[in-house]
Amino acid sequence: MAKHYSPLVCLVMVPLCIALAGCMPGLPSAQMDVKPADYSQLSGWEREDHLQLFKMLAEECQRIDHLPAGTFLGGASTLPSGKNVEEWKGVCTAVKTGAVDQPAQARQFFEAWFQPYLITKQAFYTGYYDPEVPASLTKGGEYQVPLYRRPADLLHGRNAAGELEFGHWVDAVFRPYDDRATINAGSLEGKGLELAWLKSPVDLLFLQTQGSGRLRLPDGGELFVGYDGRNGRPYVPVGRILVRRGAMRAEDVSVKTIRAWLETHPDQVKSVLESNPSYVFFRSVERKAGEGPVGGFGIALQAQRSLAIDRHFVSYGMPVWVEINDKGRDGQAVSWAHMTFAQDSGSDIRGAGRGDLFLGEGEKAATIAGDMKVYGRMFVLAPRLSLPNAPNVGASTASASGGQTAK
């Protein structure tokens, strides 16, 4: 449940090792063992909704087209392409100029323009969701827990290693912002930062863990909120804290069991939550009807199609084939294979083959996300820079018919 998902925001210019890097800054690449694969190795590829996938790719290309030249999207050094916007030019030009309106055409497009690579390390998948939390715009009654906006003096940028850091200046030294215990003690009171008021610190915990959500107001209205930074302190999952304290076994940790334990041990909630010094701030956001929260890539997330990844290994925008073959918490076999897109990232999503699947909103999504800890395979589809002797989409896709990878 360690998420902290964030929309893209421009960095604040600060001196020393905090470097301005633009609206989508770079970060160090890492090595990842991969090997070329064929579409025949993607179990169920022929049954996919290829037209839907093409439409998602077109939306991604619109996003890429608006990014500055030279923007680094992430990705391992061992992947041949897709790590910067220039390497998407061929694909995105073909998306805009080709007439793809049939499922077969969409399938052929992917097979022509993308080369699958299998990540040789076993993949590990979890899930996250869009929570709904009761809230009020004014303090009173049972609404006593503040949901804070980002403080004006909270800055962020890249350190010398290229990693994103949050903090503020204290006596000419850039340090992390107040920790959770200090904020709970009232360090932000009286600054007008209250965006809303919640009923419970447990509700705040899960909203901060997911990084976005909807606030259900007493009059039936709703307010959408999104991630707007964190305090720069290390994130310690509450499940890990409870396991260390002997309150539950590691294999029993889930959203449901954590919430149940906290609700039945109100005298220990403060101590447990403050053992995680990390703190997330929010802003109000606009959403269209039925639209998901905006992920790190700047695109609204789609249930079971958007994946959070570690950008050291997988580039934003990259199509990612997810295959899950494992047993669920109930011991029943879990098998799931579909195309997703790398459109988000998270503070606890680390390593090659690590993915966190966005599951949408509602109680069912929350339950599945809380229980999801499964293994399988991960394929990343690297975009081709160009296609030889293929002046247009029709010509380029014709060479990929029959499910064969274009060489």
Q: What confidence tier does 146 reach under pLDDT thresholds 50, 70, 90?
A: very high
pLDDT band for position 328 (50/70/90)?
confident
Burial label, 405 (beta-carbon count in 10 A; 0-12, 13-18, 19+): middle
Residue 43 has which token pair? 């179990």
Candidates 338, 223, 356, 345; CA nearest to 294 is 345
Helix 255-264 and helix 201-210, axial crossing angle in degrees, nearest 10: 160
Question: Is pTM beyond 0.85 here?
Answer: no
Nearest of 147, 238, 145 to residue 200 by alpha carbon: 145
pLDDT for the residue numbered 31: 85
DSSP 13: -
Q: How many CB atoms within 10 Å of residue 142?
A: 11
4 vs 132, more confident: 132
Residue 345 scores a pLDDT above 70: yes
Alpha helices, DSSP H, located in 199-298: 201-210, 238-244, 255-264, 269-274
Q: Could you report the per-residue pLDDT of 200-250, keeping only the tens digit for each? A: 999 999 999 888 999 999 999 999 999 999 999 999 999 999 999 999 999
pLDDT in the model for residue 4: 46
Q: How far apart are CA 86 and CA 82, in angstroms?
A: 8
pLDDT in tens, 158-190: 776 667 789 999 998 999 999 999 999 999 999
Percent of the chain with pLDDT over 70: 87
Residue 77 has pLDDT above 70, yes or no: yes
- 201 forms beta bridges with none
Nearest 10 degrees: Cα torsion 394, 399, 400, 405: -140
- C-alpha count within 13 angstroms, C-beta hemisphere, residue 87: 20
Report the candidate in 376, 375, 365 with the shortest Cα–Cα distance to residue 255.
365
Cα radius of gyration rounded to whole Å, the chain: 22
Structural domains of the chain sorted by starting position, each given as residue range(s) with its CATH number in brackets? 34-127+293-398 (2.40.40.10), 132-284 (2.40.240.50)
Q: pLDDT category, 156, cuts 50, 70, 90?
A: confident
Instruction: Classify each residue of 366-392 as buried b or exposed e, where b means 16 or more C-beta atoms within 10 Å of its C-beta.
Output: bbbbbbbbbebbbbbbbbbeebeebee
First to last CA, the chain: 40
Query: Which range, of 92-96, 284-288, 317-321, averages the lowest pLDDT?
Result: 284-288
